[in-house]
């Protein structure tokens, strides 16, 4: 039985205006009220999605989110951490060496702010976040020594992101899960971290398994959760890799694809 519905945000749950449509909100709210676990799965930290959690009413004692693309499983109400995998400054330094040679921007996500590393050029990440996170513009040398970092991102034009990923040296690929979350954003996650890993930890906490899970996604960073869920749903606007991996394809994110499939599956 499906007990948990996990949703990517951009271009999946959210429409092109970065909003949850009235139809998606109505269906998800009803399912949550009927006892289904609704879990937002995103690369963003919890403070950046609080407005979405409140909109959907996902603020109870048993409501959780998967953030940092699976690196952090956190209670929506209390902020309590159920599971976490992080990077240290030494790991970030591996990326700075390559970025210095191949010239791509880096932003490091810490516990309460994003550190935009100024020596690697202007990043688009602050614009992407649209005021949802606090940013500090610093040199790598000033990055705190004792903080745990959720991930590192490179936000740049699509062609720069593609070139960056294509040329990743083995030293980095051995220590990071390097995956795009959109054409203009490359994510450097701790080794072994993905959304399915976070969801598995959450389901285990509730005494359940991936057999109880339905997932929705559109991009490569959704691949593992689409493949491993009992029901993996790709949006019609998803990349071919996700469509091929999915059990079913629903309408696109501007056509209430999430709500349409949930209504059909649960016979609402």
As beta bridge partners, residue 182 has 185
Residue for token pair 């700075």: 96
Together in a domain, 200 and 234? yes
Instruction: Give the span between the Cα atoms of 221 and 264, in whole angstroms.
Output: 26
Cβ-Cβ contacts under 8 Å for 42 (sequence gap 6 or more): 8, 9, 10, 48, 49, 65, 66, 67, 69
- Say yes or no: 122 and 158 in one domain: yes
Structure tokens belonging to residue 184: 């203009």
- Give the model confidence (pLDDT) of 84-103 as tens digits: 999 999 999 999 999 999 99
Instruction: Give the C-alpha distances (Å, rounded to integers) separating 157 from 104, 125, 154, 183, 191.
Output: 10, 11, 10, 8, 25
* Paired strand residues for 214: 5, 231
Closest CA to 93 of 79, 73, 108: 108
Number of domains present in the structure of the chain:
2
Q: pTM for this structure? A: 0.92
Active site residue 8: yes
* CATH number of the domain encompassing residue 165: 3.30.1240.10
Do both 179 and 113 map to the same domain? yes
Which of the following is catalytic: 8, 10, 107, 256? 8
Mean pLDDT split into 10-residue runs, the chain, 268 residues: 97 96 98 98 92 97 96 95 95 95 94 92 86 89 94 93 93 92 92 96 98 97 97 98 98 98 96
Q: Are residues 205 and 73 in the same domain?
A: yes
Q: Please report the pLDDT score of residue 112 as a whole number.
A: 86
Same domain, 38 and 96: no
pLDDT value at position 76? 97
pLDDT at residue 111, as a whole number: 86
Domain final residue, candidates 190, 221, 248: 190
Length, in residues, of the chain: 268
Q: What is the residue range of 24's domain?
A: 4-84+193-265
Q: Pick from 190, 222, 250: which residue ends a domain?
A: 190
CATH of the domain at 208: 3.40.50.1000
* Whether residue 13 is found in the same domain as residue 79: yes
């Amino acid at each position: 039985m499906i007990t948990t519905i996990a949703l990517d945000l951009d271009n999946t749950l959210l429409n092109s205006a970065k909003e949850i449509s009235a139809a998606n909100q109505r269906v998800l709210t009803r399912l949550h009220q009927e006892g289904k676990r609704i879990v937002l799965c995103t690369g963003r930290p919890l403070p950046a999605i609080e407005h979405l959690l409140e909109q959907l009413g996902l603020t109870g004692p048993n409501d959780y989110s998967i953030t940092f693309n699976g690196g952090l499983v956190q209670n929506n109400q209390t902020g309590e951490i159920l599971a976490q995998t992080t990077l240290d400054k030494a790991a970030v330094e591996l990326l700075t060496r390559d970025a210095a040679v191949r010239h791509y921007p880096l932003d490091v996500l810490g516990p309460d702010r994003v550190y935009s590393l100024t020596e690697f050029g202007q990043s688009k990440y602050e614009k992407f976040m649209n005021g949802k996170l606090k940013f500090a513009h610093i040199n790598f040398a000033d990055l705190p020594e004792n903080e745990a970092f959720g991930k590192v991102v490179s936000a740049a034009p699509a062609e720069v992101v593609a070139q960056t990923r294509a040329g990743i040296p083995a030293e980095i690929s051995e220590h990071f899960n390097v995956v795009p979350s959109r054409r203009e954003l490359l994510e450097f996650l701790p080794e072994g971290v993905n959304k399915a890993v976070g969801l598995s930890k959450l389901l285990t906490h509730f005494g359940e398994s991936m057999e109880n899970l339905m997932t929705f996604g559109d991009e490569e960073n959704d691949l593992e959760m689409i493949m491993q869920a009992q029901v993996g749903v790709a949006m019609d606007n998803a990349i071919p890799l996700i469509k091929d991996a999915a059990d079913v394809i629903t309408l696109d994110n501007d056509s209430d694809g999430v709500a349409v499939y949930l209504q059909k599956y649960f016979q609402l």
